[in-house]
Amino acid sequence: MKADNTQKNNKPKNKRSLALSYTSLPIVLAFYYAIVVNIPIYNNFYKILSGLDNVHLSFIIAIPLFIFLLNSIIFSVFSWPYIGKPIFALLLITSSMVSYVMLFYGINVDYGMIENAFETDVSEAASYLNLHSFTWVTITGVIPAILVALVPMKPGLGLLKKTISIITLFALLLFLLFFTYKDFSAVGRNNSYLKKMILPGYYVYSTYHYVRDTYFSTPITFKHIGEDAKIVVKNTDPKVNEKPTLFFFILGETARSQNYALNGYAKNTNPYTEKQDVISFQSVHSCGTATAVSVPCMFSQQGRHDYDKQRSYNQDNALDILQRAGVSLLWKENDGGDKEVAKRIPKVQIDRSHDNPFCNGGTCLDMALLQGLDSEINAMKGNEKLVVMHLMGSHGPTYYLRYPKAQQKFLPDCQSSEIENCSTDQIVNTYDNTIVYTDYVVSQAIDKLKALSNQYNTALLYLSDHGESLGENGLYLHGVPYAVAPDFQTTVPLILWMSDGFKKSKNIDESCLKKAAKNGDFSQDYVFSSLLGIMDVQTTAYDKNLDIYHACRS
């Protein structure tokens, strides 16, 4: 009987030895975050410290210790029965995703990146999924989250013990900072972005603010602007103004100006439009480094420095004013959405089904935008017509899906979404192939306008939303905060083509416009008034100083 009792008593002890308390669980998680999850920030610290002359070993040790103590305190605050495990499991999975993006693409996940992630579509999000990212997230996020979910917990909260633990951890953190503050301050002052890299802190903070601003903020009353808008044709000569206007605005995706042969790039990435007598603007800056910012910003009256998302979404944009004035509009979408810019005008979403020869079921080549365009233009009412086509363009990391095999001009390319495993030359070649294909699509759109020039005075403007990093300084893709973003992410191509009839009807001095394109400095702030101006819409909302055509129209 005694032996049996001993055996029974031993079993609960073994079970309890595997269990964690709500005081010890945050410590274990903080240790894991300090050793594994925050590898990206250690990678950056290594680059910084290797460039310094004198680095104390104590400071190197203090870095992970600081992250451990900080996260121990934060995790302890949220470590309670019923809510602790779900919170930590979610944090582990999302942190592993963020860690992957930071480590392999060099992207800090801030408010703008969270906004872009929430507003992307399924196909675009799927382009980031590959064996490498799946393995990383599974090993560093999903498996630890499962372990947290399954680990037995000791009964009871131990509030006093937990409070003492938090106070002790906080005291240790202060003690650490007391002896290393000078080192942290010196490095942090010159590299302020480092505080945004500590996981899970900044991306959780950014997510909270995005959700609050988007779903829980006080609704803003919609503001109408340009209510006096009307079409006032400046050239009344019936000989040159006998035909209505047809204008194509092609909105590009992720194209950077530096890789355009028209702007001096060594490789011929514009073999099609170079034969179309286009005007290429040499210096044009984007409003943001992500679609979610640049697209609504360029069509709004607000400039980059004044842009506010909520105000932009609740105010008339250029398209609304054009429609009010009597211009017939159509938006054709092949990217991740119009970001509410085309919310109040006719819109066509490209069907991504396998029935479309340009689509594979998940994504479509941009030539799909030109399908059915003739009948769609004929169905547009009114004389003055403007068609916006939103390209998939050069959207990464699946650059290789943006062009057909026939457009593999530059080889070897990277036939994978795992661009971190491709060489720099392969990545650049693949990206350049997307530029060539976009050039082909734009040229085909110009040919279509030429074919319609007996019916309309035609013109086309192509402008990308933002640029892209292709490994320069360890950065890939886009989305870096504008204040520190490289020119590769903020300098975009702008190409203009006009028929002879269009130039005459709008009184455009082409040589003047070519000179401005070569020597001027422009931005997406010019889109709003340029569209109103070139479509001859008169309104107090128009600003002639932000119209790229104004100075060259007699």
Beta strands in 289-384 (DSSP E): 328-333, 347-349
When pLDDT is cut at 50, 70 and 90, the band that residue 233 belongs to is confident
Q: With a cut of 70, say whether residue 352 has pLDDT above it.
A: yes
**pLDDT number for residue 6:** 47
* Least reliable range by pLDDT among 265-269, 404-408, 518-522: 404-408
Nearest Cα neighbor of 272 from 410, 441, 476, 135 is: 441
The total of other beta-carbon atoms located within 10 Å of residue 397's CB is 23
CA atoms within 13 A on the CB side of 329: 23
Q: For the chain, give the mean pLDDT.
A: 91
Q: Give 248's strand partners.
A: 387, 460
**pLDDT number for residue 433:** 98
Q: How far apart are CA 536 and CA 502, in angstroms?
A: 12
Q: With a cut of 70, say whether residue 156 has pLDDT above it.
A: no
Share of the chain above pLDDT 90, in %: 70
Instruction: Enter the pTM of the model.
Output: 0.84
Average the pLDDT over 292-313 and give the result: 94
Give the fold, CATH level 3, of 234-552.
Alkaline Phosphatase, subunit A (3.40.720)
Q: Please give the biggest Cα pair distance in the chain.
A: 114
Beta strands in 318-465 (DSSP E): 328-333, 347-349, 385-390, 457-464
Domain ranges of the chain: 14-215, 234-552
Q: With a cut of 80, say whether residue 190 has pLDDT above it.
A: no
> Any idea what the Cα angle at residue 103 is, between residues 254 and 211, rounded to 5°?
65
Check: CB of residue 187 under 8 Å from CB of residue 194.
yes
- DSSP secondary structure, 101-134, as one string: HHHHH-----HHHHHHHHHS-HHHHHTT--HHHH
Q: Tokens in use for 327?
A: 């211009």
Q: What is the pLDDT of residues 384-416, one digit of tens each?
A: 999 999 999 999 999 999 999 988 999 999 999
Q: How far apart are CA 480 and CA 111, in angstroms?
A: 10
